[in-house]
Structure 1
Amino acid sequence: MGSQRPMQVQGRPHLDAPMPPSLGHYQNEHTRRWAATFAAYDGFVIVTPEYNHGIPGVLKNALDYLYAEWNIKALGLVSYGAAGGARSAEQLRLLAAGLQMADVRQQVVLSLHTDFENLSVFTPGDHNLHALNTMLDQVIA
């Protein structure tokens, strides 16, 4: 899966392509650089919070920028929120299908109440390890 370094999605301007990414004509240099970054990977693990029953707009925007670079690649999901981020993960699965990504069944669900101190400091427990290891095994396979 390429170099397995974490990457943060930030600083992307709002989608500004004159043509749909599915046509593969990236006219902006920042989009071509973005595409080159993700083309090198065989799979991804996306960690997402849940806001208003969905994924954050910045993540949707980042996914919308590209098309072929997501196709036929594995996707693992880690979600968090008051209800474990389950609704954002389900929304992300729908988007992944449209991008021809192969999302794996196992996901990691983190609760703001049990996996975050004071609802803000990430303090995961060992109870997440089985789900995490299973999800990673499925992404690698």
Structure 2
Amino acid sequence: MNKLEIVVASTRPGRIGPSVARWIESEAVTHGAFTDLEVVDLAEVNLPFMNEPHHPRLGRYTHQHTRDWSAKVAEADAFVFVMPEYNYGYNAELKNAIDYLHSEWQYKPLGIVSYGGVSAGTRAAQMIKQVVTTLKMTPAFEAVSIPFVQQFLDDDGQLVPNDVMTSSAKAMLDELVRLADALRPLRAPAGA
């Protein structure tokens, strides 16, 4: 089974991340390679800023919210981060969610769907790669970058993609499937 978790990084009021995530989810359903899809909204996960006393690599979590987050991340085979760009970088809530855990992220591929103004969130996307590779995640080269994202929202706030966005999403999903399959043996328990 291939489980894809689409993580909505923005938590601020008025955000458009959920609309972008719903579109990526529909693209993943159409793609068909991931048999299990879930949109995980960091606003709903609602993690406090890091409050665990032990280093995440130890897996000695003292809070239920951390144990729940650990289980959610551990069950995924691949991720897509739907992320805005704030002041040339990614948002603090996404960094916090990543930093809560350690081994749960390892040997899993990451697709990035970034959005923003003229840069389409590409500066934030580049910055996050330094963080996730430290956790042994593999970011896909193929990505979706949405410039001036507001222009792609209809009157109901739903994302209406253009052909470039749709073809980019397919290429990213194709690569996530290949990477998830290639990395699966590395995620197997030692001695399995």
Partner of 1:50: 85
Q: CA deviation at 1:124?
A: 1.9
Q: Does 1:101 align with 2:137?
A: yes
Q: CA deviation at 1:43?
A: 0.7
In the alignment, which of 86, 102, 113 is matched to residue 122 of structure 2? Answer: 86
Q: Percent identity, please.
A: 35
Q: Does 1:133 align with 2:170?
A: yes
Partner of 1:31: 66
Unmatched 5+ residue regions in structure 1? none
Deviations 1:7-61 (A, max 9, x none): 1112111110111112221121110111011111111011100000111111111
Partner of 1:13: 48
Residue aligned with 2:130, SS: helix
Higher strand share: 1
In 1, are the aligned partners of 2:115 and 2:149 still within 8 Å (CA)?
Answer: no
Q: 1:21 to 1:134 in 2, by over 3 A?
A: same
Partner of 1:124: 161
CA distance in 2, matches of 1:37, 1:72: 16
- Aligned amino acid, residue 51 of structure 2: D
CA distance in 2, matches of 1:73, 1:113: 28
More displaced stretch, 130-139 vs 18-27: 18-27
Unmatched 5+ residue regions in structure 2? 4-35, 179-192
CA distance in 2, matches of 1:104, 1:117: 26
CA distance in 2, matches of 1:13, 1:113: 29
Partner of 2:103: 68
In 2, are the aligned partners of 1:84 and 1:109 still within 8 Å (CA)?
Answer: yes
Higher helix share: 2
Q: CA deviation at 1:113?
A: 5.5
| Alignment RMSD | 1.8
What is the number of equivalent residue pairs in this alignment?
A: 140
Deviations 1:60-98 (A, max 9, x none): 111111111100001110000111100010011111111
